[in-house]
Chains A and B, each alone.
Chain A
Amino acid sequence: MHIDCLSNPGNQQVDVIISTVPWTDSAIPLMAPAVLKPIVEQAGMSCIAVDLNAEIFNATSTHPGKDHFINFFFHGVGHPDINDWLRDMVESVSQDMLSWQPKIIALSVFTHASRKMCEWTCYYIKKLSPDTKIVIGGAGCLEQFTGPSTFADDMINRGLVDYHVRGDGEHAFRQLLLGNTSYPGINSTTWKILTNEELDQLPYPDYTDYNFSQYSKKMMSIHGSRGCVRTCTFCDYITNWEKFQWRTGESIFKEMKFQYDKFGIRSFKFQDSLTNGNLKEFNKLIRLLAEYNQLNPQESFNWGGFYIFRNRSANDEEMWDIMAQSGAEFLTVGIENLNEDIRYAIGKKFSNESITFHLEQAQRCGIKLDLLFIVGYVNETQQHIDNAKAWLDRHVQYQDNLIISWGGTLAINPNTYLDKNSDQLGITRTGTLPQFWINTETGSTPVLRAKWAKELAEHSSQLGYCISDSLDTHWVLEQMIKTHE
């Protein structure tokens, strides 16, 4: 099988290959290889950095047996209609990687759905070339953000992988390349966080080896920060990234201009957990972009990303105007709950009045909002659900500008505030899934919460809101009902 992104007709040699591992349903480039390529080159080594996922995702999407691939990528189970194709693909990927005679192959495991492919790719690489070092990293290696990685440990114990890098990989990966394999973040649960200055000074991601014709959207990923300014009680992201790290508005703007000059792409997706964590720098960025867009209407930039609502302040209307001029097209906002008391208990202290104001402004400015919710907070009751329905009834005028994600109800993940205070909050675990808990004080059970999630989805759908759905959500809700009824 011909793997275009790894083809090596000139029999060239590189020191390092960095690749994404299928399977991620993404219309835009996955950025890890591009982020790490300049790190490798700064360490004095040569490198190709490819988005294998994009090529394999496209190939599986048009394959006659396309319906069977999910089962392979998620569970490692093949099907007679695709087994030969899969074997050929995994063998070809491994052979083509090794055709570059790399000393190191680094695989970015973005989600759990990349694990099976990672396992088989490593197996074939090690069979063909046992001395080639394999490094894995990415959120898909982790069961939870903190603590050991069962997956990575198993891969290392089986001799399929040599190193697992976690956290801000830029430090650790560089040290690994330089031979300092005891550096924090390499085969360890602790890692060294980048400072703001270091984050600002990182080289720009290098997408030279990406084939942009593979993507259905001409859009590039970008990072403006890591971590979060909030300390929400349910959040496990902040247990891993304990500090909020941010880049300056100028630095982000320069990168956008650089990438446009090099690749002709003017649409950007911010992969941060929030774009407006540092309001001062966010304001600088949107003003720089607005000014640029005004001067270059034929080459204007646009962008989208995660965003936090704050309580309304005096100059917010102007900020929404500037955001629109800066090219903001869509913002994903974690509202979490439509009841103020619950939202405040979560740690999101903005009022319902402020939500309405921001919805109005977004609609006025033509900026789409994707609203994320968590159903069934620890103290949530039927009255709160009824309040949420009433809120939806009262805000139908904004529905054309909104997408609503109700999600798979409250998950209590390890090391979060909720996890650490479970006893005080009256929470008892009823199984291994983080959604499996009861609150004896309020009578909240997995079955009840799954029922609420379905109720809210149905109610909002009937009112005409656009609802975002996922297989994961359905699976979780089904498990909550099946296991507890």
Chain B
Amino acid sequence: MNAVMIHDGKECPGFSVDLTLPTKLTLVVSGKNMKLDTKIDKDGKILEDLYIKIIGVTLDGFDPGVNFLHQKIKLVTQDGKVLTNPYLGFNGHVDFIMDQPTVFQQVMHWKNVA
């Protein structure tokens, strides 16, 4: 099983986009079949899984910090559950809300709240 990231119709290990702040960037996770793509044993332990793991986010090269990945990435699943984790193992979406007017303010805001 291989999960792929698709951006502008092409597979990519990572991507960059041009944005004008303030804005919102939505990452959609789709096409995962929970019955086939997550294999579990009789005790419920996951043996094999299909997922995307976000290993880094930067805004114009500025890293909002490791806490951002673990505290601010919220996957909203198709049934409305919110999972705070950079490990995206369910279909759903992640909104990156950038409500600040400049890169400096946005990075500081992320670092403050994280």
Known: A86-B108, A123-B60, A158-B61. 20 other contacts (CB 8 A): A77-B108, A77-B111, A77-B112, A78-B108, A79-B112, A80-B112, A83-B104, A83-B105, A83-B112, A86-B104, A87-B102, A87-B105, A87-B108, A91-B104, A119-B62, A120-B104, A123-B61, A123-B62, A123-B103, A160-B61
- How far is A91 from B101 in the complex, measured between Cα atoms in Å? 14
Provide the B38-49 mask, 1 if CB < 8 A to any CB of A, else 0. 000000000000
Residues in chain A near residue B102, CB distance under 8 A: 87
- How far is A119 from B63 in the complex, measured between Cα atoms in Å? 12
**B residues at A contact (CB < 8 Å):** 60-62, 65, 102-105, 107-109, 111-112
Residues in chain B near residue A119, CB distance under 8 A: 62
Residues in chain B near residue A464, CB distance under 8 A: none
User: Any chain B CB within 8 A of the CB of A107?
Assistant: no
| A76-B111 in contact given A87-B104, A90-B104, A120-B104 (Cβ < 8 Å) | yes
Judge whether A83 and B108 touch: CB under 8 Å. yes
Report 20 cross-chain contacts, Cβ distance below 8 Å, ordered by A residue: A76-B62, A76-B107, A77-B108, A77-B111, A78-B108, A78-B111, A80-B112, A83-B104, A83-B105, A83-B108, A83-B112, A86-B108, A90-B104, A91-B104, A119-B62, A120-B104, A123-B61, A123-B103, A158-B61, A160-B61
Which parts of A95-136 form the interface with B (CB within 8 Å)?
Answer: 119-120, 123
Q: Look across to chain B and name the residue whose beta carbon is closest to the beta carbon of A82.
A: B108
Which parts of A231-259 form the interface with B (CB within 8 Å)?
Answer: none
Interface centre among A79, A83, A91 (most CB of B within 10 A): A83
Query: What's the nearest-Cβ distance from chain A to residue B69, in Å?
Result: 15
Residues in chain A near residue B62, CB distance under 8 A: 76, 119, 123
> How many chain A residues touch the partner (CB < 8 A)?
15
- How far is A90 from B60 in the complex, measured between Cα atoms in Å? 16
- How far is A83 from B65 in the complex, measured between Cα atoms in Å? 17
- How far is A312 from B101 in the complex, measured between Cα atoms in Å? 66
Residues in chain B near residue A80, CB distance under 8 A: 112
Residues in chain A near residue B105, CB distance under 8 A: 83, 87
Provide the A57-90 mask, 1 if CB < 8 A to any CB of B, else 0. 0000000000000000000111110010011001
- How far is A83 from B102 in the complex, measured between Cα atoms in Å? 11
Query: What's the nearest-Cβ distance from chain A to residue B62, in Å?
Result: 8
Q: Look across to chain A and name the residue whose beta carbon is closest to the beta carbon of B65.
A: A77
- How far is A78 from B107 in the complex, measured between Cα atoms in Å? 9
Residues in chain A near residue B61, CB distance under 8 A: 123, 158, 160
Residues in chain A near residue B107, CB distance under 8 A: 76
- How far is A477 from B82 in the complex, measured between Cα atoms in Å? 40
The 7 closest A-B pairs by CB, nearest first: A78-B108, A158-B61, A77-B111, A83-B108, A87-B104, A87-B105, A78-B112
- How far is A158 from B60 in the complex, measured between Cα atoms in Å? 9
Residues in chain A near residue B103, CB distance under 8 A: 123
- How far is A324 from B46 in the complex, measured between Cα atoms in Å? 77
Q: Look across to chain A and name the residue whose beta carbon is closest to the beta carbon of B111.
A: A77
Query: What's the nearest-Cβ distance from chain A to residue B105, in Å?
Result: 6
Query: What's the nearest-Cβ distance from chain A to residue B103, in Å?
Result: 8
Q: Look across to chain B and name the residue whose beta carbon is closest to the beta carbon of A159.
A: B61
Q: Look across to chain A and name the residue whose beta carbon is closest to the beta carbon of B107.
A: A76
- How far is A87 from B109 in the complex, measured between Cα atoms in Å? 12
Residues in chain B near residue A79, CB distance under 8 A: 112
- How far is A87 from B62 in the complex, measured between Cα atoms in Å? 15
Q: Look across to chain B and name the residue whose beta carbon is closest to the beta carbon of A78.
A: B108
- How far is A160 from B62 in the complex, measured between Cα atoms in Å? 11
Residues in chain B near residue A87, CB distance under 8 A: 102, 104-105, 108
- How far is A86 from B104 in the complex, measured between Cα atoms in Å? 9
Q: Look across to chain A and name the residue whose beta carbon is closest to the beta carbon of B102.
A: A87
Which parts of A352-399 form the interface with B (CB within 8 Å)?
Answer: none
Interface centre among B65, B105, B108, B112 (most CB of A within 10 A): B108
Query: What's the nearest-Cβ distance from chain B to residue A316, in Å?
Result: 55
- How far is A79 from B65 in the complex, measured between Cα atoms in Å? 15
- How far is A83 from B100 in the complex, measured between Cα atoms in Å? 12
Residues in chain A near residue B108, CB distance under 8 A: 77-78, 83, 86-87
